[in-house]
Amino acid sequence: MKILVYSFRTFDEKEYFDQLCAKEGFEYATCADYPSVENAHLAKGCDAISIIVTDMNEALLTALAAQGVRYILTRSIGTEHIDMKAARKLGLRVASVVYSPESVANYAIMLMLMCCRKFPYVLDRARLQDYSLPGKRGRELSKMTVGVIGTGRIGRTVLKHLSGFGCRLLGYDRYPGEEAAQLCEMVDLETIYRECDVISLHCPATKDNHHMIHAGTLAKMKPGVILINTARGGLIDTMALIDALESGHVGAAGLDVIENEYGLYYLNHTGEAMNNRELALLNSFPNVIVAPHTAFYTDVTVHDMANCVVEACAAFERGESYPYEVK
């Protein structure tokens, strides 16, 4: 078994891939770049490739299959970046990963607190030695109603942690479970939009929920609402959010993900003119935090991702099923 790891990071992933592949007796090669039709030839002789979130379209999958690749392992929970119809047609087995939900949950709550307390603005003014109070008065999260949309592993962890803050907690999920119902009051989306001071998104990106936050849903929200997105950028219509920020209807936003982030995050673009006007507009607001898709990024999750890649390859080679295989 040989694995080609695209978008490989020597500074944090290497130690885990070294240990885990050696334990299974696997070989692995690396490429620092995203996979492309142009570099698909690097996968010749490899049984599997591992990727991060990047566009895996039919042309690219076909090029990889032509090199003998049989398995696609994405080092992400979401798989919307992979053309699964094409993968199935080509006979490629695909698997995602699972990792510590605390990583994203903690980050989401950090963004909530930073937005509530206007922390980026406070820090920016302090760097200029402006220690005055005007414009810096925050709000107390403990006195707010927080809505969590998506009560899977991460959403439930957010709810568990927020219970210690004393917030009123509301939750929504298309397929609600008993555990979530014990952590919060499960309601419909209309109630979330109408009653919540903070709304945090924790659902996967699907065709059904693309732009679930749009001009119409934003208009239903409380004036001054705080939006948190550590899930997928496509859940929010960015231009509608910008309009709501400009009007003052949305009080603040903490965004770890944005639309059109492929080819942007995890790369150093210092000194470049970025072809992303929406990002520039979002960065212009003092009440918006745009983080570079790092909510997942801890020592625990980096290990978990590498471990899932190796585990999936081992299971596939044995002809077994894998819990996080994408059908």
The residues assigned a catalytic role are 232, 261, 293
Contact assessment for residue 56 and residue 28, using Cβ atoms and an 8 Å cutoff: no
Name the residue among 292, 288, 287 with its Cα closest to residue 274. 292
Nearest-angstrom CA–CA distance, 172 and 131: 41
Query: Residue 184: helix, strand or coil by DSSP?
Result: coil
Nearest-angstrom CA–CA distance, 37 and 218: 40
**Beta-sheet strand order (sheet of 198-201):** 185-186, 168-172, 145-149, 198-201, 225-229, 250-255, 288-290
Q: What does 107-133 look like in DSSP terms, one character per residue?
A: HHHHHHHHHHTTHHHHHHHHHTT----
Nearest-angstrom CA–CA distance, 228 and 66: 42
User: What region does 74 belong to: left with phi over 0, alpha with psi -120 to 50, or beta?
Assistant: beta
Strand 250-255 to strand 288-290: parallel, antiparallel, or no bridges (unpaired)?
Answer: parallel
Query: Residue 190: helix, strand or coil by DSSP?
Result: helix
What is the torsional sign of CA 253, 80, 49, 57? negative
